[in-house]
């Protein structure tokens, strides 16, 4: 695959974007600490706050959002799901909330705050945790998530309950690992209450240097949090393990493999063509072996939940879909929607379906 030696345009754009962020990191190292000091003074004085109608209980969900054009219907569905699951939603908005948003939020939340859009998701997570401590709120279970994903996809989702039943202290959906780097993807954490007072946990958040450079957010936030948990001896783990996903493909029969290949989500045209050819090829004694070998090659560089959504969502119930306009996520959504249209996957919540179609069409 890709034997011509020419770097695909999508990969070149991605690498140039990363290089640009790394170059911007040099001057940012000078002014970002100053911005953080000013930001923390505003935090100490108090951000604009909205008290909602939901009571504070033993389970709290800190949900970050950035929706400057107004809160989407799916965001309200997320809040309803959290309330129905026994959580008191605490919204941290990186954009001002309109009067209309405040009115629709009030019945669905325990509290909301508006903060400046500094530090992306980890900046909002940090400020939310500081505020909970300031308000002497010590939940038995804290869920942290952000609106970069649609969650849940389907009614009756049990992800929150599965996380509560997990043996891990901090639970995510996917654990990323490369060499000695290990971290949970940061759009969803479920945390045992005692962890919030662990010195290692508090030291990470108190010492986090905020940045609005995505490259540094990933390095300091997502990866840094994983390192801090490991160094503190706090057990972290995923709801969907790499072994579980590998077994899914290793044990799949020919009809399932053909479905997975026919609806692959990839930005690589060579992979797409090879998957289509395999999916359409006649049965043969070595077809299953060839298909599994192709899957193994693809997954050496790609994530199974986004590359093979029919397998992850349809067989394992992976409950989230990313909103990002990055090509890999656009292809993921397009493949997911095609499977829905073909009747292979059940239709998600109406708000999710409408918004996913719109974002995928606009990005296409």
In the chain, where the domains are located:
40-238, 242-363
Give the angle 302-66-320 at the CA atoms, nearest 5°.
Answer: 35
* Rounded-to-integer distance, Cα 94 and Cα 119, Å: 9
* Rounded-to-integer distance, Cα 159 and Cα 171, Å: 11
The whole-number pLDDT of residue 244 equals 85
The whole-number pLDDT of residue 83 equals 98
Q: Is the pLDDT of residue 3 over 50?
A: no
- In the predicted model, what is the mean pLDDT of the chain? 91
Q: Is the pLDDT of residue 8 over 70?
A: no
- 342's enclosing H/E stretch is none
Helix (H, G, I), strand (E, B) or coil at 149: strand
* Rounded-to-integer distance, Cα 88 and Cα 62, Å: 9
Q: Is the pLDDT of residue 94 over 80?
A: yes
Q: Confidence class of residue 341 from pLDDT cuts 50, 70 and 90?
A: very high
| Cβ neighbours of residue 343 closer than 8 Å, sequence gap 6 or more | none
pTM: 0.90
* Rounded-to-integer distance, Cα 235 and Cα 184, Å: 11
What digits encode the pLDDT tens for the residues 19-74? 655 555 555 665 688 888 999 999 999 999 999 999 999 999 999 999 999 999 99
The whole-number pLDDT of residue 1 equals 41
Tokens 């946990």 locate to 201
The stretches of the chain forming alpha helices (DSSP H) are: 9-45, 73-84, 99-105, 120-134, 159-165, 199-207, 214-216, 224-232, 242-250, 254-262, 269-280, 287-298, 304-307, 309-316, 327-341, 350-363
* Rounded-to-integer distance, Cα 261 and Cα 344, Å: 13
* Rounded-to-integer distance, Cα 356 and Cα 321, Å: 9
Q: Is the pLDDT of residue 2 over 60?
A: no
Q: Confidence class of residue 195 from pLDDT cuts 50, 70 and 90?
A: very high
| Backbone torsions φ then ψ of 294, nearest 5 degrees | -65, -45
Residue of 119, 96, 84 whose CA lies nearest to 50: 96
* Rounded-to-integer distance, Cα 84 and Cα 80, Å: 6
Residue of 128, 152, 154 whose CA lies nearest to 142: 128
Q: Is the pLDDT of residue 318 over 50?
A: yes
Dihedral Cα 294, 298, 303, 304, nearest 10 deg: -10
The whole-number pLDDT of residue 44 equals 94
What digits encode the pLDDT tens for the residues 290-309? 999 999 999 888 888 999 99
Give the angle 167-169-176 at the CA atoms, nearest 5°.
Answer: 95
For the domain spanning 40-238, the CATH number is: 3.90.550.60
* Rounded-to-integer distance, Cα 64 and Cα 57, Å: 19
DSSP β-bridge partners for residue 149: 322
Q: Is the pLDDT of residue 7 over 80?
A: no
| 309-316 helix and 242-250 helix, angle to the nearest 10 degrees | 100
What would the mean pLDDT of 74-100 be, rounded to a whole number? 98
Q: Are 278 and 290 in contact (CB under 8 A)?
A: yes
What digits encode the pLDDT tens for the residues 107-153? 999 999 999 999 989 999 999 999 999 999 999 999 999 999 999 99
Burial-class residue 215 by CB neighbours within 10 Å (0-12, 13-18, 19+). middle
């Amino acid at each position: 695959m890709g034997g011509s030696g020419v770097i695909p345009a999508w990969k070149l754009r991605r690498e140039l974007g990363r290089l640009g962020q790394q170059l911007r990191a040099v001057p940012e190292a000078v002014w970002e600490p100053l911005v953080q000091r000013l930001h923390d003074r505003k935090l100490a004085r108090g951000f604009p706050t909205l008290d909602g109608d939901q009571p504070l209980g033993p389970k709290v969900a800190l949900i970050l959002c950035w929706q400057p054009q107004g809160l989407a219907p799916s965001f309200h569905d997320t809040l309803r799901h959290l309330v129905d699951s026994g959580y008191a939603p605490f919204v941290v908005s990186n954009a001002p909330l309109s009067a209309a948003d405040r009115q629709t939020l009030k019945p669905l939340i325990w509290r909301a705050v508006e903060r400046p859009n500094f530090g992306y998701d980890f900046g909002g997570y940090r400020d939310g945790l500081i505020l909970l401590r300031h308000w002497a709120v010590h939940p038995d279970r804290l869920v942290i998530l952000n609106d970069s994903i649609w969650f849940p996809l389907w009614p009756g989702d049990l992800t929150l309950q599965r996380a509560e039943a997990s043996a891990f202290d901090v639970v995510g959906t996917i654990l990323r690992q490369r060499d000695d780097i290990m971290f949970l993807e940061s759009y969803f954490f479920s945390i045992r209450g005692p962890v919030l007072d662990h010195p290692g946990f508090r030291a990470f958040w108190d010492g986090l240097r905020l940045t609005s450079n995505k490259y540094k957010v990933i390095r300091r936030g997502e990866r840094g949090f994983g390192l801090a948990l490991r160094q503190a001896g706090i057990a972290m783990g995923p709801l969907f393990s790499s072994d579980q996903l590998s077994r899914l493909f290793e044990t799949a029969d020919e009809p399932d493999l053909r479905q997975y290949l026919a609806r692959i989500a990839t930005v690589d045209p060579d992979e797409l063509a090879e998957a289509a050819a395999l999916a359409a090829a006649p049965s043969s004694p070595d077809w299953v072996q060839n298909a599994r070998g192709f899957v193994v090659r693809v997954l050496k560089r790609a994530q199974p939940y986004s590359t093979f959504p029919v397998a992850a969502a349809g067989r394992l119930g992976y409950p989230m879909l990313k909103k990002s306009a990055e090509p890999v996520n656009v292809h993921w959504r397009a493949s997911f929607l095609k499977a829905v249209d073909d009747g292979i996957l059940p239709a998600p919540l109406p708000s999710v379906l409408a918004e996913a179609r719109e974002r995928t069409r606009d990005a296409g």
